[in-house]
Amino acid sequence: MARLYESRKRILVTGGAGFLGSHLIDRLIAEGHEVLCVDNLFTGTKRNIDHLHQHPRFDFMRHDICFPLYVEVDEIYNLACPASPIHYQHDPVQTTKTSVLGAINMLGLAKRLKVPVLQASTSEVYGDPAVHPQTEDYWGNVNPIGPRSCYDEGKRCAETLFFDYHREHGIQIKIARIFNTYGPRMHPNDGRVVTNFIGQALRNEPITLFGDGNQTRSFCFVDDLISGLIALMNSDYTVKGPINLGNPDEFTMRELASRIIEISGSCSTFTKRPLPIDDPRQRRPDIMAAEQMLGWAPKIPLNEGLIPTISYMRETLGVTAEQFLAEA
Three-point CA angle 9, 10, 13, nearest 5°:
120
| Selection from 74, 158, 90, 162 nearest residue 124 by Cα | 158
Residues 234, 36: Cα–Cα separation, whole Å = 18
H-helix or E-strand spanning residue 308 = helix 302-316
Dmax over CA atoms of the chain, in Å, equals 60
Whole-number CA gyration radius for the chain: 19
Active site residue 237: no
Residues 146, 295: Cα–Cα separation, whole Å = 37
| Selection from 259, 252, 260 nearest residue 283 by Cα | 252
Residues 313, 14: Cα–Cα separation, whole Å = 25
Among 126, 151, 165, 182, which one carries the catalytic annotation?
151
| Selection from 145, 210, 199 nearest residue 309 by Cα | 199
Residues with Cβ < 8 Å from 138, sequence gap 6 or more? 126, 129, 131
Residues 160, 162: Cα–Cα separation, whole Å = 5
Residues 275, 305: Cα–Cα separation, whole Å = 27
Catalytically active residues are 151
